[in-house]
Amino acid sequence: MVKNLIKDLEESADKMQAESLQRFFKTGKGEYGEGDVFLGVKVPIQRKICKKYDLPLAENQKLLNSNIHEHRLCALFCLTKNFKKSNNIEQGEIFKFYLDNARKINNWDLVDLSAPSIVGEYLIEHPELKIILKKLAESDNLWEKRIAIISTYAFIKKGMLEDALSISCSLLNDKHDIIHKAVGWMLREVGKRDIGALECFIRSYYHNMPRTTLRYSIEKFPEEKRKKFLKGDFT
């Protein structure tokens, strides 16, 4: 079955698109996506292909082991699809499988398109396991840290903001721009639900926030207010 999915992807490959994606996702030597290979298949096409297949975990493992980006993303689309229709025990198996393969979910789109739907949703139903987010945030692996913060998007959508704020705080001293952007994005989403909570967070941690994080978090503020917050003027 997985061979047919791979064949479908190859038939949809676009060389020029692949070259563009290689640059966009920073796959050069020393960059965060070093070694990632693209076929050049657009996301909507990948989603359409994945709808045709119901892959067991072992087949998804083959895709996640690949150095081809679209293989790994399709594995995650299939996992997300299966997670939604599975019972609690099966969801637990997918959740564990996802975390066991976290270091293979190694580009920002792979994380963003899967972590809230699997890790976040599972932890909403199993809050006793939320300590896992803290452990991921403390990881030395860039992608595990991004999974930690982006997973909280599932909580934010349900008005549960505490975990997003807590993980954001723990990642403020991270050095990587990929994390600065992710934290800023989740803080902005918090602000959409509770502007007071976001403003309080910024006042408390303004001097520790990377500028990228701050800019992302206040992106939706009115212009005058945004300029004041950038300067640390909270009057």
Q: Is 68 strand, coil or helix?
A: strand
Which two tokens mark 2? Answer: 């997985």
Question: Using an 8 Å Cβ cutoff, are 111 and 143 in contact?
Answer: yes
Whether 51 has a pLDDT exceeding 90, the answer reads yes
Whether 152 has a pLDDT exceeding 90, the answer reads yes
d(CA 94, CA 204): 37
In the chain, helix, strand, coil percent, each to 5? 70, 0, 30
pLDDT tens-digit map of 155-201: 999 999 999 999 999 999 999 999 999 999 999 999 999 999 999 99
Residue 1: its pLDDT value, please? 84
Residue 113: its pLDDT value, please? 98
pLDDT tens-digit map of 86-103: 999 999 999 999 999 999
Residue 108: its pLDDT value, please? 96
DSSP letter at 201?
A: H
d(CA 188, CA 207): 18
Mean predicted lDDT score pLDDT of the chain: 96
Q: What is the mean pLDDT of residues 209-232?
A: 97
- Res. 235 pLDDT band, cuts 50 70 90: confident
pLDDT tens-digit map of 4-36: 999 999 999 999 999 999 999 999 999 999 999
Structure-derived torsion over alpha carbons of residues 150, 153, 189, 166, reported in degrees to the nearest 10: -70
**Domain spans of the chain, in order of start:** 1-85
Task: Pick one of 1.25.10.90, 1.10.1760.20, 3.40.50.300, 3.40.30.10 as the CATH number of 1-85.
Answer: 1.25.10.90
Residue 129: its pLDDT value, please? 97
Residue 94: its pLDDT value, please? 98
